[in-house]
Structure 1
Amino acid sequence: MEKMKLKMLYSDLKQDIDIIEKELEKALNSSSHLINEASLHLLQAGGKRIRPVFVLISAKFGNYNIDEIKNIAVPLELIHSASLVHDDVIDNSDMRRGRYTVKAQWNNRVAMYTGDYIFARALEYVTSIENQAVHKILAHTMVEICNGEVIQIEDKFRLNQNIKDYFRRIKRKTALLIESSCELGAIVGGAEPEVVRHLKRFGYYVGMSYQIIDDILDFTSTDKQLGKPAGSDLLQGNITLPILLLKDQPKIQKFIAAASNGFVTEDERLEMLEVVRNSDAIKKATVVSNQYLLKALKEVEALPNIPMKKKLRDIALFMGKRKY
């Protein structure tokens, strides 16, 4: 339902989004039957396609040409998809969006090679763009995403981390790719440098807000809404903002100790969810997300007054206020 509402917000871009979908299918075509199957499995899981949408909208602030814009929208979505495949191996996740992950459907080895293949196709796809600045930004984005994945492994079950550690991690995990989507869409679209800067900052702020909400929803949503068990982040050792705000509570410490040893009962999981949901950590984390959202909206206000300006604002508000 939430995904449907979001798609309605950018329904006038449907024709170009359909072009992106077809290009994604083409990009994932491989001579390997196994990689084809695994890639198609991932693509059919769908997704909000937030990153390509931000590319398209940002390009509207310049000289919009879908035949050029698709050459950056597709690789950005491919990079996101590849990072999800790798994340599922790192986190030992069997479910994503209510479907079996590539790792669960096949195995870790197939998942890692599939993720690597998708990364490689992203690089191959972007070679049609001559602007060296685009390649430099994209390369930096990929390096930082990989750094983020390693840091996430190092930080698993580590309670002595602080909020700055968390912010740095979610910047690499989520915000950076959304920031790059906005920046690169504007650059490829030929937008003015000042407009590019505002869109880049917008992408960073809305990406941070989006990930914090995602981390909150992991505790407040139902298993059905999430398509996986609520509290999965903590079960996998990922210490998110709500838990950082509760890390001194004995019950939370006890649960993390049990989870790190792989011994958590269903009753313990439900008790942990109750503790988090009844605390003030959810409200405090929401305040932080809203602070980032307000910064994003401020960047939107500084943009030229074209129809896409309101759409950017509406999508940002939806992302920052979604329920699951």
Structure 2
Amino acid sequence: MNLADIYINYKEDIKTIERELEKNVQTANPILEDASVHLLRAGGKRIRPVFVLLAAKFGEYDIEKLKHIAVPLELIHMGSLVHDDVIDDAELRRGEKTVKSQWDNRVAMYTGDFIFGKAVETSAIFVNPSIHEIMSNAMVEICLGEIEQIRDQYNWEQNMRHYLRRIKRKTALLIAISSQLGAIASKADPDVQKQLYWFGYYVGMSFQITDDILDFIGTEKQLGKPAGGDLLQGNVTLPALYALTKKPQLKAELNDFFNGSNQDKEHFHKFLEVIKRSGGIEYATKMSDLYLKKAFERLDLLPNIKAKQHLSDIATYIGRRKF
């Protein structure tokens, strides 16, 4: 079963979540609403809401409750993307102009803040304090990750520990708590909640590493932005990190390129080829596969219900996706 088949199984519930997302970004301020709707309609896989729905199948499934978990988690993700695009000075996301490109940095930052605020407001119906604690802690961690990303731009001396911590905060944590909170909201067994958290975490780590691989080997049409965009924005991802350890002279060459006036595309593409030939893509692929293996080990510990197979299918898709 592929990702589209899974979505068909939950089509009506996903429609409910989409309607709630649109309702939540409505506001009396036309600029905030236009910017938020622009971001919402740029699309996305809605991976986090789907993890909420699948995790909830291990307990008492009720979409009217679950939408108040799925929607804020997607809003947190959306808000972080707006902030990311400001940090990276990105012009395109999924083939569409970013909020900062369509408006400006100030509008983008306040749009991200507005979306974060709506996330908190949407989840307020729950009286369980652990739900709010988990969600707010994730928002803090995401912000810390964004600050680290700013600090580490064009820093060619990073190590693996920095990279893994950054992608945990950037991607893995939100997928992990999507699984965990779906289980908590449906009152699933505490051990199931724990296993789902770790399943989501490992899948999230693999998801981001795959993203980082695709940034080097994908086409602009597939990615919705130019290939090599992470490196061009000074973000050191796993394939580049591996190449820098194998070819230390690359650090000085990158410094010269970004500090110089001759930043032509042909010169930059040579760096991409060096990184691809270094073995960095293969190394990152193995790392992604290792995280997926750990995810499947956690999945094996869960009860054998239909949603378990769907979670397995999503994890398999993440490991094989091409865009």
- TM-score, normalization by structure 2: 0.96
Sort the Cα spacing of 1:191 and 1:234 in 2 relative to 1 into closer, same or farther, 3 A. Answer: same
Secondary structure class of the residue paired with 2:244: coil
What's 1:159 paired with? 156
CA contact (8 A) 2:179 2:196 kept: yes
What is the CA–CA distance in structure 2 between the aligned matches of 1:275 and 1:243, rounded to whole Å?
A: 9
Distance in 2 between residues matched to 1:227 and 1:64, nearest whole Å: 35
Contact 2:239–2:276, Cα closer than 8 Å, also in 1: no
Q: 1:260 to 1:219 in 2, by over 3 A?
A: farther
Percent identity of the aligned residues? 53
Q: Distance in 2 between matches of 1:184 and 1:253?
A: 45
Q: Is the partner of 1:21 in helix, strand or coil?
A: helix
Q: Deviations over 1:196-228 (max 9, x none)?
A: 000000010000011001001000101121111
Q: Is the 8 A contact 2:56 2:185 kept in 1?
A: yes
Partner residue of 1:304? 303
Give SS of 2:216's match.
helix
Counterpart of 2:98 in structure 1 is 101
Matches within 5 A, 1:8-19: 8-19=5-16
- What is the distance in 2 between the residues matched to 1:289 and 1:75? 27
Letter of the 2:14 partner, please give it: I
User: Equivalent residue for 2:81?
Assistant: 84
Question: Is 1:235 matched up with 2:232?
Answer: yes
| Residues 287-317 of structure 1: per-residue CA shift (max 9 Å, x gap) | 0110000000111111101111100001001
In structure 2, what is the equivalent of residue 318 of structure 1?
Answer: 317
More deviation in 211-220 or 155-164?
155-164
Equivalence for 1:68:
65
SS of 1:247's partner is: helix
User: Counterpart in 2 of 1:279?
Assistant: 278
Q: How far did residue 323 of structure 1 move?
A: 1.4
Amino acid across the alignment from 1:186 = A
**Inter-CA distance 128–228: structure 2 relative to 1 (3 Å threshold):** same
The reply to whether residue 119 of structure 1 matches residue 143 of structure 2 is: no
Name the count of aligned residue pairs. Answer: 320
Letter in 2 for 1:14: K
Would the alpha carbon gap of residues 256 and 298 (structure 1) be closer, same or farther in structure 2, given more than 3 Å must change?
Answer: farther
For structure 1, which runs of at least 5 residues remain unmatched after alignment? Answer: none
Q: Distance in 2 between matches of 1:262 and 1:241?
A: 27
Aligned partners of 1:236 and 1:259 also within 8 Å: no
Q: One-letter code of the match for 1:282? A: I
Deviation at 1:261, TM superposition (A): 5.5
Question: How far, CA to CA, are the matches of 2:110 and 2:230 in structure 1?
Answer: 24
| Contact 2:142–2:170 under 8 Å retained in 1 | yes
Would the aligned equivalents of 1:94 and 1:104 in 2 still touch at CA under 8 Å? yes
Mapped to 2, the partners of 1:260 and 1:238 lie a distance apart of 15
Q: What are the Cα deviations for residues 242-295 of structure 1, in whole angstroms up to 9, with x where unaligned?
A: 111011423464135423557521102221222222231100110011000000
Question: Which of these residues, 43, 47, 50, is aligned with residue 50 of structure 1?
Answer: 47
Asked whether the 8 Å contact 2:216–2:276 carries over to 1, the reply is yes
For 1:205-244, what aligned pairs fall within 5 Å after superposition?
205-244=202-241
The whole-number CA distance in structure 2 between the counterparts of 1:21 and 1:162 is 39
Cα distance in 1, alignment partners of residues 143 and 318 from structure 2:
25
Q: Which amino acid aligns with 1:118?
A: I
CA distance in 2, matches of 1:202, 1:68: 22
Q: How does 1:128-167 map to 2 (within 5 A)?
A: 128-167=125-164
**SS of structure 2 residue aligned to 1:181:** helix
Which position in structure 1 is the counterpart of 2:263? 264
TM-score for both structures, normalised by structure 1: 0.96
